[in-house]
Structure 1
C-alpha cells in the first residue's frame, strides 16, 4: 500500500512570499542554504586568483577553476541520489567534511597535480544543498505556496552569486585569497551543519524509488527540461565572457558592473515572483520568461556596439527573467520527478546548467575574439532563445511516472473521469 512520506508542514494563513517566510523553520533553511552555497560562487574565482598569484599562467589557473566547476556539476546528481536513498543528513555532513578539508588544503598545494586533485575532490564533494532544499519544499510548505518557495530559492541564488565575488573583492585587499577560501569553506560547513539539523532533516524518511536505474532521466519531460537548462547555462557562460570583453571599451571594473546589474535584476525579479500567487502553469511561465530574457539581451548587444558604458544598465533587463525562470524550472522538475528521486532530479538540473555554462564560455571565446563584445551578447540572446524553444512544452510530452506521494491521496478513479491531480502540468 502506498504511503505519503512524512512532512513537517504547518499551515499558515498568509500567502505568497509572506506565507513562505512565516512557515516554521523556512527562514533558517533559506539562510543556511544561502551560506552553504557560498563556495560555489567564491571558490572558482578564489582558485583563479590564488593560482595566478602563485605564478601560474592564466591557462593553468583557468584549468584549475574549471576542474572545480565541472566536478561540482557532475557530483550533484550522484549526491542527490544518495540523499534520496539515505536521507539528508549523511550526504550533507559527509560532503561538508570532505569539501572543507579539500578547500582548506588547496592554498598549500601549489598549482600542480595535487592542487588539481584537491580542486576536483572539493568540487565533486560539494554538499547537495540545492537538491536537498528543493526536495524538501513540497514537504515543508503548503502546495499553494510552492511557486513562491521556488522563487525565493532562485532569488537567494542571485544573492549568492552577487555576494560571493563581492566578498572576495572586498577582503582581497586585507587578506590573501587562500585565507578567504578557507574562511568561506569553514563558514559553509557550519551553515550546512545547520541545514542538516533542521526538523526537515531530522524527521526525513525516504520514499520508495521508482524510475529504475535511470531515475529522473527516464522521463522524456525531464530530459527536455535539462536540455533547455543546459542551453540557458550556455547563455550564462557566454555572458561572463562577453561582459569581460566590455572592459576593452570601458573601465577595468566594467565586467563586474555588468554581472552585478544582471544579478540585481534577477534578485528583484525573483523576489517579485515570490510575492505573486501564480495560476499560469510552470512550463508556460518557463518558456515565456526565457523568451523575455532572450529579447532583453538584444538591447545589451546594441549597447555594447553603440554605447559600451550603458551595457551594465542594459543588463538589468534580461536579469529580471532569470530567477523567475529558474523558479518555474524548479517547479517543473519537482512535478515530474519519479517518486524517491527528487534530490537527484534537482541535481541533474544543476549539472545541466553547470556543464552548459562551461560549454557556453568556451564557445563565446572565439566569437568575442573575432567579432567583439556585441557578438558575444548576441550569442547570449541566441542561446537563451534556443533554451525557450527547447524547454518542455505546456502539454506533457509523455505521462511519465506518477509520484507516490501524490498518488497516495488520489480518490479511486470512476469510469469516464480523471482523478484530481493526474494533470502533470498543474502549476
Structure 2
C-alpha cells in the first residue's frame, strides 16, 4: 500500500513546470559563481521563493537565502541546497556551457538550486496537504566549507526558528534514476593541510651553498604516501592527496621555500589525528635530514565534518523514495570518501537525512567502458570534472525527492 506522503508527493509534482525548471537550470549553469560570490544565483532563488509566498531573506551568512512558509502547527523541516561553483574550466561542449571564464558548475549545485526551487513551489502550492513549517535554505560556500557555519553564526535559527529535521541531497555520477541512501555514515571528513619547507636559496650552479627546499619537498611528498599504507589500519578508510606543490621563479634559481598543499579524507576523528601527527613528524624529519635552517610550518586549513545520517530519519525518507520511484531505485552503497559541510547545520543534535541522486545521462553510462557498476562508475565524469554534465531528465525526479522527503516528515493535514 502506498503511503499518504508518497501519494501526496506524486499529486503535488504531477504537473511540474518541467520546461521552465530546465530553463532555470540552464541559466544557472551558464552563470556559475564562486563561493561567497553567489549574488545572482541567490537572487534567482529568492525571487522564486517570494513568488511562491515564502517569507524570504537574502544575505544570510553573506550570500545565503532563507525562505519560510508556515502551514499550521507541526514540525519544522529544513530543505537545503548549496549554490556555489568551482574554479574549473568547462569542457562539456554543452550549448548552455559556462559563460564565466575558468568557473564551472562542476559539482551539480546549479541542479541542487533548481531542485530546491521546484520543490519549494510545489510544496507551497500544495500547502493544504501538510502542516508545519518549511524552511528553505540556499547555502553559499559549500566547496570551501564556510557556508553552513556562516549562516548559523549569522543567526539562522535565532531569526527563522530551529528546525526539527534537516534534508539535503547531492547530484552524483551513476545511471540516472537511482537514489542511494545510507542509514548512518554516508560521507567522510575532510581536512586541508599546508606545509611550508624552508630552505636557503641561491644560484643553480652552486647547490652546495644552498639548502634546496624543492628536493626536500619531493622526498616529503613521497614519504607522505606511506602515512595511509603504513600507519592507518587496513580496516580503516583514509585518503591522503597532495594537490599542489609550489616553488621557485626561474630555471636556475634555487628558491628559499617550497609549499605543499594536502587533503585528508577520514571517517573517524582518531584516524584524522593519527594522520595529522604523522604528517607533522614526517615533515620535521625530512627537513631535519636535509639540513633546513628551520622547522617546516604545518597549518590546518578548511575542514569538513563526517556526515552521519540519523537512521530513523533516513529510513523514513528512503521508504517514501522507494514508493515514489519504484523497487530497486533505493539502495545502500556504503559510505563515500567525499565530504560536505551540511552537518554544520545540525549543530551536533538535529537529526538529518542526506542522500544522492544519480545523474549520468543514459547514453554516457552505456558507452562507458566496463562490465560492472564499479567499472562504469570509475569511467564516467565525476563531480569536479570539467566534463561533469548531469542529465536534464533528472530535474523533475530531483524535485520529487525533496517534496516526498519533506512530506514524510511534515504532519498530514
Q: Give the TM-score taking structure 1 as reference length.
A: 0.25
Greater helix share, 1 or 2? Answer: 1
The structure with more radius of gyration: 2
Q: Give the TM-score taking structure 2 as reference length.
A: 0.25
